[in-house]
Structure 1
Amino acid sequence: MSASPTVAAVRAHLAAEDAGDAGRALEQFADDCWYAIPAQGVELRGKAAVRDHHERLLRAFPDLRNVVLGCHDAGDRVFARLRVERTHRGAWGGVAATGRRLATAALAEFVIAPDGRLEAEVVHANPLEALHQLGAVPTTNAFELAAAWRELAGEGAR
């Protein structure tokens, strides 16, 4: 059974990211596309902003690989369950390159435009997972991190 055209478009996008080609990664997207990472407060509008994000991402992680664990066509959306593997070779989000290897989980939700192109990508991931692997935070658990922060601030557990 062959993949639907929208799943094929998602796989082409992910393969272009794996090849380090931000321009090609955006070929499947509508011109008025958008990109979001809700857990990080990221929301970008327009192909130029999304391309800039991808270019910065691929400079920081030039060996980025999306290991597709599952892909589901839900009609108006395609969901790709991923393990994202990469090495931190350049500054990312204010964290200088560490040379550390990361492997994090993500669910990429691709919104399909009426013309069948990709309208958006929404990445659902726990940002603490990557920050912990980079050595920037002591845990991936947000509640443990909040408790540690309160302790450092001298507030104790509340």
Structure 2
Amino acid sequence: MDPLDIPPAEVLRARQKLVLDHFHDEVRQDWDDVLATFPHPHYEIVPTMTVHDGDAAVRGYYDETRRAFPDQDHEIIALRHSSDAVIVEFWLMGTHRGPLGKVAPTGQRFRVRMTAYFLFDENERLVCERVYFDTLTMLRQLLRGYELRKPSSWPKLAKAVRGLLAMSGTPDPRLADTTPPDLRG
């Protein structure tokens, strides 16, 4: 697909409906309906350089994130179309009520601005949701419950930092090993 060719309006409307249904079903935590939007579920979480590929891996991702943030929700800011994607800017919000990896729940709320690229193949099938956000903004909000001036908070904070460091592993090569496009046109 030529990156300068924008599909007809009816294709863009169909893509947009699928993406909005996907968002709605995620909030409802209806994982079967969310996964039905893909022929093969595939998420790429760029800030953590992780890929969740296939039904079981994506369900594991949902389970982990909703255990940590059972009230996770979003507010859409903007939705845009490109030749092969729907791009959604949104606020993601939730309360840290369960473990996030090895980080114990802090009870803190977060609100982080994000962008998700919903990528479509040449047959108009959703093949990837690629998410970008600032992890430092989220972590700052989650860890603000620790009172740094109180030595009694230091052990919990140290444990949280160790947990965060344990979550940062080797970047998935599908995200790390990229090739620049040929833009000579």
Tell me the TM-score normalised to structure 2 length. Answer: 0.67
CA distance in 2, matches of 1:59, 1:113: 32
1:105: Cα distance to partner? 0.7
Maintained 8 Å contact 1:20/1:62: no
Match of 1:11 among 20, 42, 66: 20
What secondary structure, in the 3-state scheme, does the structure 2 residue paired with 1:4 have?
helix
Match of 1:103 among 111, 125, 145: 111
CA distance in 1, matches of 2:123, 2:55: 16
2:167 equivalent in structure 1: none
Instruction: Check if 1:94 corresponds to 2:80.
Output: no
Deviations 1:100-140 (A, max 9, x none): 1110010001111333231101101011111111117x9xx
User: Where has structure 1 moved over 3 Å in runs of 4 or more?
Assistant: none
What runs of 5+ residues in structure 2 fail to find an aligned partner?
Answer: 1-8, 147-185
1:68 equivalent in structure 2: 76
AA partner of residue 27 (structure 1): A
Maintained 8 Å contact 1:4/1:73: no
CA distance in 2, matches of 1:25, 1:88: 23
CA distance in 2, matches of 1:25, 1:102: 23
Q: Which moved more, 1:115-124 or 1:80-89?
A: 115-124
CA distance in 2, matches of 1:114, 1:87: 38
In the alignment of these two chains, the number of paired residues is 136
Specify the structure having the higher radius of gyration (Cα). 2
CA distance in 1, matches of 2:64, 2:31: 9
- In the TM superposition, 1:36-47 aligns within 5 A as 36-47=44-55
Percentage of identical aligned residues: 29
CA distance in 2, matches of 1:90, 1:115: 39
AA partner of residue 95 (structure 1): V
Tell me the TM-score normalised to structure 1 length. Answer: 0.78
After superposition, the CA RMSD in angstroms is 2.0
AA partner of residue 60 (structure 2): D
